Amino acid sequence: MKNKGLYIHIPYCAQKCKYCDFLSFANGDRMEDYFSALKKEISLFGEFQYGVDSVFIGGGTPSFIPSSYVKDFMETVRGAFALKEGAEITIEMNPESVSREKLEVYLKAGVNRFSMGVQSFNDESLRYIGRIHNSKKAIEAIGMIRSLGIENINIDMMMALPYQTFDDLKRDVEMVLQINPNHLSYYSLILEEGTCLYDYYEKNPEAFPDEGLDRRMYHYLVGELENAGLRQYEISNFAKENYESRHNLKYWSLEEYIGLGLGSSSFIDKTRRKNTSDLSFYIYSLEKGRLPIESSEKITEKELMEDFMIFGIRKNRGVSKEEFKKLFSVELEGVYGKEVKGLMKDGLMEEEGDYLRLTKRGRDLSNLCELKFIK
């Protein structure tokens, strides 16, 4: 049986960012009860004896909580799962809540990949999006991580922020290159309904970069990062050789993963399961010894094919025709021949050996390309 990825959700943070629609709370509501329940959920999965070769501790802001909780639930993880030697174990952090003491606890708990949510090195941009750190704090936090001999660092950045100019973006990219991380995630701001920034956009659309500026920013940063040895391997992700996110590649490659914690999703045996998003019900269920599953859906062959294509073309190498046939016992062209030919004719997709991948223009229009594979 192939090793799985494990995602652990920490729903707590110091303050909700203005763009955030993730399941998180800007308080410590029932924190002790939550982590007691989380450990019960981890233990319940022990009966399945799953092998795990990647762990991702996300949120929320995992570095916001006392590090003792991370130490405790990681001990429970090791007891419940066959955690493989050399497993990638990532924790998300924010500059304002990281400390040397916490980092030392994370290292002892087995964490070997550290993801820092910076978003921008422009203090004005940070203020507009509701971040509570400044650029100085971000640089200090990254320096603190490196002072412990840690090099497997990801930085999360954002572009197309309110009032951000092309020169602002260039300065952010220059700072990233000075820091020289081994992995970088660079996302365009997505305005989600119900967030503060969405409401602000509704009233002040002129405050946000238009599509043309967004694409100009994106093309610039891709070129600069590639020149610096940060190879693009997915639309929003860049890495030096051998530093790609093994955990995220599971999502993009239709591999199985387990999601534990409030609102988390799992994909096992062609079935998607989602945990409840209700904190009280999550805790109550696990106190009663029951998994807090809200929904469970068997994924059809057609849906699996669609996911294979939609997630696969986000990767720069694209989708493997051989892998498609191995998974579904049918030729890719037999299912999506018309769609592939159409995209190739429009200059949005190209073929190289066994792989079909988006062109540079195709990546600019990736959302439209993905829709072609939903029948």
Tens of pLDDT, residue by residue over 103-145, are 999 999 999 999 999 999 999 999 999 999 999 999 999 999 9
Name the nearest CA neighbour of 55 among 37, 27, 81, 18: 81
Query: Which burial class, exposed, middle or buried, applies to 164 when counting CB atoms under 10 A from its CB (0-12, 13-18, 19+)?
Result: buried
Q: What is the rounded (10 degree) CA torsion for 42, 44, 50, 55?
A: -10
Residue 23 has pLDDT above 90, yes or no: no
CA–CA separation, 258 and 272 (whole Å): 10
Taking 90 as the threshold, does the pLDDT of residue 17 lie above it?
no
Average pLDDT, the chain: 96
pLDDT at residue number 287: 97
pLDDT at 359 over 80: yes
- Domain(s) of CATH 1.10.10.920: residues in the chain: 301-371
Length, in residues, of the chain: 375
Residue 346's φ and ψ, nearest 5 degrees, are -85, 0
Q: Which amino acid is at 11?
A: P
Residues of the chain with CATH 3.20.20.70: 4-251
| pLDDT score, position 343 | 98
This prediction's pTM: 0.95
- Peptide bond preceding 60 in cis form (omega within 30 of 0): yes
- Quick one: what percent of the chain has pLDDT higher than 70? 100
User: Helix, strand, or coil here: 346?
Assistant: coil
pLDDT at 27 over 90: no
Element (H, E) at 191: none
CB 114 within 8 A of CB 150: yes
**Whose CA is closest to 214, among 242, 234, 186, 249?**
186
- Is 80 exceeded by the pLDDT of residue 21? no
Residue 20: per-residue pLDDT: 82
CATH of 301-371, one of 1.10.10.10, 3.40.30.10, 3.40.50.10860, 1.10.10.920: 1.10.10.920
Q: Give per-residue pLDDT as tens, 59-97.
A: 999 999 999 999 999 999 999 999 999 999 999 999 999
Name every residue whose Cβ is closer than 8 Å to that of residue 240 and which is 6 or more positions away in sequence.
182, 183, 229, 230, 231
What is the tens place of the pLDDT at every residue in 325-352? 999 999 999 999 999 999 999 999 999 9
pLDDT of residue 194: 86
Count CB atoms within 10 A of the CB of residue 329: 8
Q: State both tokens at 75.
A: 């001990």
pLDDT above 90: residue 14: no
The per-residue pLDDT for 256 is 97
pLDDT band at 185 (very low <50, low <70, confident <90, very high): very high
Fold for the domain defined by 4-251: TIM Barrel (3.20.20)
Determine the Cα–Cα distance for residues 36 and 283; give it in Å rounded to an integer.
8
pLDDT digits (tens, 9 = 90+) for 272-322: 999 999 999 999 999 999 999 999 999 999 999 999 999 999 999 999 999
Percent of the chain with pLDDT over 90: 91
- 3-class secondary structure, 87: strand
Q: How far apart are CA 182 and CA 373, in angstroms?
A: 33
**Could you read off the pLDDT of 308-321 as tens digits, one per residue?**
999 999 999 999 99
Q: What's 315's DSSP letter?
A: B
